[in-house]
Structure 1
Amino acid sequence: MDPWTQKQRTTIVIGADVTHPGVTSAEGTPSIAAVVGSVDDQFTQFPGSTRLQRSRKEEIVELGDMVKECLIDWAVKHEDKLPTHVLFYRDGVSESQYEALRNYEIPQIKQAFKWAQEYLESKRKPERKPSDHDFKLIYVVVGKRHNTRFYRLNEEDKIRGRKNNPNLKPGFVVDTVITHSHSFDFYLQSHNPIVGTGRAAHYFVLKNNMDLTDKELQQVTHNFCYAYSRATKGVSYCAPAYYADRLCDRGRAYLRHWLKRR
């Protein structure tokens, strides 16, 4: 049994994203932050929550409170026990903001566990022993807005049934040469585009103490690209981050008059 399968029943997968108002939006329009978290062992159900925050601020201000909600939802489905592993996908962040996420968002996740533990202890029956809230975290930034493209050079890499298609087969990974020399990051081509050249998602790991190897994390991330409920095939990046992005779009619908300066 591989390490991921062993950890699956004690792991929560979380996706987070922030969307900002456009240049045509009314003055004072806030940014929208969204966080979703799995509640089942098959990672198919992702309830989430949204918050408004100061315009153009990339760090999620109330991340701790939003993650606490995800942890409590997970615990309700698992006999009021908190997960021991967290796989966190953060969408929509530029490379210049990685250090800010390390200093602000990762401590917020740790704080969320403390808050969730305090809430569960307040609801726990006196005869039940308190549970430990220590956990191991993988924090991965998902990047989509880059100009890196990969093309096939050999005929055997051709996608079946697609003529004159330069795209690579789904599952193609690049984790050497063009990646960071001192950190763990990789490019993953997870989908088969209908038209044009596919853009591989760039995954940058800011923290990994979950004892998953590079290949195991790449495989898990690729599998999540085929778990998006609105598509019957693979999507361009992992489902948890995709769900958070969709939830941000849902939040924008409630601010449409501000976004369109009406």
Structure 2
Amino acid sequence: MIKIKGKLTFKIVIIINLSINLARILPPPKVKYRGQRNNEVAEHVAESVKQWGNQTLAVISQCISFQSLQRNTDKYRMYVQNLSQKINAKIGGINGVVNFKAAFSRSSHKDLFMFFITHTTCSTDQPSIVAVVGSCDPTCSRYVARLSEQYRKRGRCSVEIIKELNKMVIDLLEVFSHTCENRLPNRIVFYRDGVEDGQFQKVLYNEINKIKNACRDITHTSQFDFYLCSQAAIIDTSRPALYHVLHDENGSNSDDIQQFTYWLCHTDARCTKSVSVPAPVHYADLAAHAARMFKFGDYLGQNEENDDQSENISLNDIKTKVMILNEKIQNNMWFI
């Protein structure tokens, strides 16, 4: 590790005389905390509680495992902090605020940012669950999820294409506008989880057009990738996440994108420390997996045979159904 002109920097030598990768240490954001500073439960019981609360009676719930309390007798303070943050976020509170405008080299006080994240779960014997999560307040601290089932046709997995993305994005933009005094964001950052290298162009072609149709004002393309290690390992070694920038029309430079991506890793409502991926990416993952507990009707493709031809799937091969929770809580962070 070397100090150059007062700034901490370092280089990683992978193999001598073959590759030297320069790296840098990003400063963490200043998080302003509000208020004070900061499963082994029977699975069918937790599922029943979530179905009853989120779908039937519109009651926010938080399941607590007695075994977790027993395992963390020496860490009660941290356990209670994490639990309190989750409950606070679920009932509409804000745990901390990051000034994302400071992460952009060119921004004004009038800028409104919105972060979108999508996550899909795929199975050959069950419908894929698509979760689209969008920020819904000026500080990008609160998020709303929209869910959709995608039914396979002839056993194909539909994870690489999100058919109803434009409708879900429009719905989230309307929630944002309602929360922000009828203003729409003038900068949108979209993260897409669960895409393999060979699917980049397919996802870019299908989903950028749908976001354009929802927003009506996106124009230019650029691409690069970077590794970001945003989490200090508590046990074992930290694993960096690899990010590919497929499309950028905000005019952001590489420093901007790396900075606000890193800062988003410090805003997770389930943890008092930074996490390995941006918080809303984690939220989309939680929402997609939580939706597996819910009952939204019969699965339309359950009797079809699996022909394992996912590479040849088209939009016409995908059947979709929007998954609607109780309207009283669907705009809350029920998935935390």
Bin for the TM-score computed over the shorter chain: 0.5 to 0.7
Displacement of 1:212: 1.2
| 1:242 paired to 2:282 | yes
Structure 2 partner of 1:92: 194
The one-letter code matched in structure 2 to 1:88 is: F
Q: Structure 2: where are the runs of 5+ without partners?
A: 1-101, 303-336
Structure 2 partner of 1:42: 139
Q: 1:66 aligned to 168, 174, 187, which one?
A: 168
CA contact (8 A) 2:113 2:140 kept: no
Change over 3 Å in CA distance of 1:136–1:74 after alignment to 2: farther
| 1:57 paired to 2:137 | no
2:246 alignment partner, SS class: strand
CA contact (8 A) 1:188 1:200 kept: yes
Q: 1:190 aligned to 213, 230, 243, which one?
A: 230
CA contact (8 A) 1:190 1:222 kept: yes
Structure 1 partner of 2:128: 31
Change over 3 Å in CA distance of 1:239–1:71 after alignment to 2: same
Displacement of 1:197: 2.1
| 1:17 paired to 2:136 | no
Cα distance in 1 for residues equivalent to 2:117 and 2:268: 13
Displacement of 1:103: 0.9
Residue by residue, what CA displacement relative to the aligned partner does 1:148-190 show, whole Å, maximum 9, x if unpaired? xxxxxxxxxxxxxxxxxxxxxxxxxxxxxxxxxx941000000
Cα distance in 1 for residues equivalent to 2:106 and 2:139: 12
CA contact (8 A) 1:13 1:37 kept: yes
Displacement of 1:84: 1.7
| 1:109 paired to 2:206 | no
Displacement of 1:6: 2.4
Change over 3 Å in CA distance of 1:8–1:32 after alignment to 2: farther
CA contact (8 A) 1:17 1:245 kept: yes
The one-letter code matched in structure 2 to 1:197 is: T
**CA RMSD of the aligned region, Å?**
2.6
TM-score by length of 1: 0.67
Identity percentage over the alignment?
Answer: 32
Task: Give the number of the structure whose alpha-carbon radius of gyration is greater.
Answer: 2
CA contact (8 A) 2:218 2:249 kept: no
| 1:204 paired to 2:244 | yes
Segments ≥4 residues shifted beyond 4 Å: 135-138
Residue by residue, what CA displacement relative to the aligned partner does 1:209-250 show, whole Å, maximum 9, x if unpaired? 211110111010000000111000011111111111110111
Cα distance in 2 for residues equivalent to 1:218 and 1:7: 21
Residue by residue, what CA displacement relative to the aligned partner does 1:63-113 show, whole Å, maximum 9, x if unpaired? 111111111111112232322211001111111110111110010101122
Structure 1 partner of 2:94: none
Change over 3 Å in CA distance of 1:81–1:135 after alignment to 2: farther
Q: Structure 1: where are the runs of 5+ without partners?
A: 115-133, 139-181
CA contact (8 A) 2:111 2:187 kept: no
TM-score by length of 2: 0.53
Matched pairs, number: 192
